[in-house]
Amino acid sequence: MSNRDLLVEIGTEELPPKALRSLSEHFQKAIESGLAKQNLPCASSTPFASPRRLAVIVKSLQEKQEPSTVEKFGPALKAAFDSEGKPTKAAEGFARSCGVTVAELQEKDDGKVSKLFYSETRAGENTAELLPEIINSALASLPIPRRMRWGASRDEFVRPVHWVVILFDEEVVPATILGVKAGNATRGHRFHHPQAIELSSPAEYETALEKTAYVIPSFSVRKEKTRDLILAQAKTARASVVIDEDLLEEVTALVEWPVGLTGNFDKEFLSVPKEALVSSLKTHQKCFTMEDADGNIHPGFIAISNLESSDPAQVIAGNERVIRPRLADAAFFFEQDKKRSLDSRREQLKNIIFEKSLGTVYEKSERVAGLCKAIAVALSVDAEFPVRAANLAKADLITGMVGEFADLQGVMGYYYAMHDGEHENVAMAITEQYLPRFAGDNLPETEPGIVLALAERIDTIVGLFGIGQPPTGSKDPFALRRAALGVLRIIIEKQLPLDLAVCIENAVAQYKDLPEIDGLRQKVLDFIFDRFRALYADEGIEANVFLAVDAVRSSSPLDFDLRIKAVQEFCELKEAAALSMANKRVSNILSKLDKQPGIEIKTGLLTEDAEKALSEKLTVLLKEVDPLLQQQQYNMALTAMASLQPEVDQFFNEVMVNTDDEKVRRNRQSLLQQLRQLFLRVADISLLQTA
């Protein structure tokens, strides 16, 4: 059976830039999925996306489905025919469902009983006939929050559709997609080459657009081209550029034919904080900023245009004219904001609602300050700076700069605090309170910043759970899951010996009234510890390792993490599997008892050599392991416990636990309890057995 290449292109008005990459990837996957459901194998698929198009090229797609065999079992023969051998209603109904008569059905044993049986070999359909439905289904499945209509059509899509290309090698597949008849004509750049370009095969697609029509259709190729242009412009300006990947993605989605341009702004604006200049240029003009050799901001910017101008100087001048008032606004806000201290703005926080049931931002800052003091005491650090920082932490929300550039909250707080004469530790904590902002982001470095970042997150989680608003499914409006991950990362990576249960209790104590206070500490603790699953999954740690440690959970995240790492190392030991199985066996034996035995062993009742050997080894190990456990040296403790394997194996091979002699039986159960409790001081390794 021969194969062909397939090109599907949907030409539109300019697509939303921040959604372009996602739409392209989903379209590719949906096409692949649709082909797979129709049993149409292919070699590979490649996505293409630009502001005016979504496209996929499928390589070596089978031109026809393989023949398929349909088999169905019907009723048992006893139920299919009556005593006279005539078909029953059950048999006739089965035959009708298969589109044949009862006489045309076969008889076959299904392994239990003989039944009526239907078998049919169906010829595969032509791929071209199946493609329209596959493409329409793929487009309908795209993650588009709001679809729009255009003209008199009832069709809906993210943007109006102007052309559709469906080429199956040289063949144009007849179809109407979103109200547009498919053909073989694509279109080039809106200004440089607006006319149609006829394609004779999918192989021509990328070359025809790039070489003659001023369009680089591959998102990834265009992105790297844009990156190279930015770096080249910076080199020409004798500066360096730190490329913001989010901005690069957005700019790539805004242009079909990237052209790099460099402009300048007045040096007087360099008195404005660097972050404010970067935010203004990025947010309003989608421009990249440059730095000099000392890391100071360079008085210039790099813009990516979507066309090759015959007079680029005019384009640059236009950008400079637009940028100047934006930077002037930033400079004005900065100078005006400095006229009032952060402390003087705190009173205005009483007018900003954090959450209607949890009060104002002012009240939240007061709670966080109280929690900062408790956490600082627990960590034996000076509470003065984090408490002061907590009081001022949200005051920059009142400033004009943050009102204009919301992403600068915390950053501007640092600059204004330093201007007000606050201690640098206080200023740093104000900006570090938001760290980490996302997975993999930097953590706060200063002690006050660490304390404030923890207190801020724990207060939010406790408050929302306390009013019965935990995250549900995919809805997490207050980003509590991210906050919980931040708490865990800070505690673990900064090696903080914090008891999270105590922190939660201290957070609850800051509230005057929480309607869902019953069991609140445990709910919050469970929620935060459940975030460990995602962290450890990213590190390649198996779920059963997590479950083994979680079964004996410590409320200290750092201690929990040390146990996880120790159990993960233990799993690599040759003795691990046997000891895990033995622990599972011990757990099963003990779980069946009406009353759990103690761990005191009467040596006089030890009669078998194997149980004596196990008891002696346990006695020695307890003395060796106890100091290791007290020092949280769990990996060394488990390595020492692994030496028990020969004695444990010998015990189960030679000793009958449930002997008739009650005293001996209880003594042996106590021996197993001692073994079990030893391992439980680290984890329930019986749960490492998945079968």
Residue ranges and CATH numbers for the domains of the chain are 3-65+126-212 (3.30.70.260), 73-121 (no CATH), 219-337 (no CATH), 344-530 (1.10.3210), 561-688 (1.10.730.10)
| Confidence band, pLDDT 50/70/90 cuts, at residue 595 | confident
Scanning the structure block, which residue is given the tokens 């930077």? 327
Question: What mean pLDDT comes out for the span 454-476?
Answer: 94
Average pLDDT, the chain: 93
Higher pLDDT: 456 or 615? It is 456
Say what percent of the chain tops pLDDT 70: 100
Q: How many CB atoms lie within 10 A of CB 610?
A: 17
Question: What mean pLDDT comes out for the span 238-251?
Answer: 94
| Confidence band, pLDDT 50/70/90 cuts, at residue 500 | very high
Residues 365-420: pLDDT tens digits? 999 999 999 999 999 999 999 999 999 999 999 999 999 999 999 999 999 999 99
CA distance 496 to 559: 10
Q: Which two tokens stand for residue 300?
A: 């210039």
pLDDT value, residue 503: 97
Task: Find all residues with CB under 8 Å of 627, minimum gap 6, and list them.
Answer: none
What is the gyration radius of the CA atoms in the chain, in angstroms? Answer: 35
pLDDT value, residue 481: 95
What is the number of residues in the chain?
Answer: 691
CA distance 471 to 497: 28
pLDDT value, residue 689: 73
| Confidence band, pLDDT 50/70/90 cuts, at residue 267 | very high
pLDDT value, residue 690: 58
| Confidence band, pLDDT 50/70/90 cuts, at residue 1 | low
Question: What mean pLDDT comes out for the span 14-24?
Answer: 96
Query: Contact at 8 Å (CB) between 129 and 153?
Result: no
| Confidence check: pLDDT of 587 > 50 | yes
Omega prior to 444 cis, within 30 of 0 = no
Among candidates 115, 123, 114, 111, which has minimal Cα distance to 94?
115
Question: What mean pLDDT comes out for the span 353-365?
Answer: 95
Would you list the DSSP string of 118-158? Answer: EEEEEPPPBHHHHHHHHHHHHHHTS--SS-B--TT----BS
Query: Contact at 8 Å (CB) between 420 and 395?
Result: no
pLDDT value, residue 691: 45
Among candidates 33, 59, 62, 35, which has minimal Cα distance to 46?
59
Say what percent of the chain tops pLDDT 90: 73
CA distance 423 to 446: 13
| Confidence band, pLDDT 50/70/90 cuts, at residue 172 | very high
| Confidence check: pLDDT of 265 > 60 | yes
Query: Contact at 8 Å (CB) between 174 and 157?
Result: no
| Confidence check: pLDDT of 21 > 70 | yes
Question: What mean pLDDT comes out for the span 119-140?
Answer: 91
Segment (H or E) for 44: strand 44-50
Scanning the structure block, which residue is given the tokens 């660490």? 450
| Confidence check: pLDDT of 226 > 60 | yes
| Confidence band, pLDDT 50/70/90 cuts, at residue 606 | confident
* Helix, coil or strand: residue 539: coil
Residues 51-67: pLDDT tens digits? 999 999 999 999 988 88
CA distance 327 to 559: 49
Question: What mean pLDDT comes out for the span 674-680?
Answer: 90
* Helix, coil or strand: residue 257: coil
pLDDT value, residue 363: 96
Which pTM does this prediction carry?
Answer: 0.80
| Confidence check: pLDDT of 656 > 90 | no
Residues 269-318: pLDDT tens digits? 999 999 999 999 998 899 999 999 888 999 999 999 999 999 999 999 99
Q: How many CB atoms lie within 10 A of CB 158?
A: 22
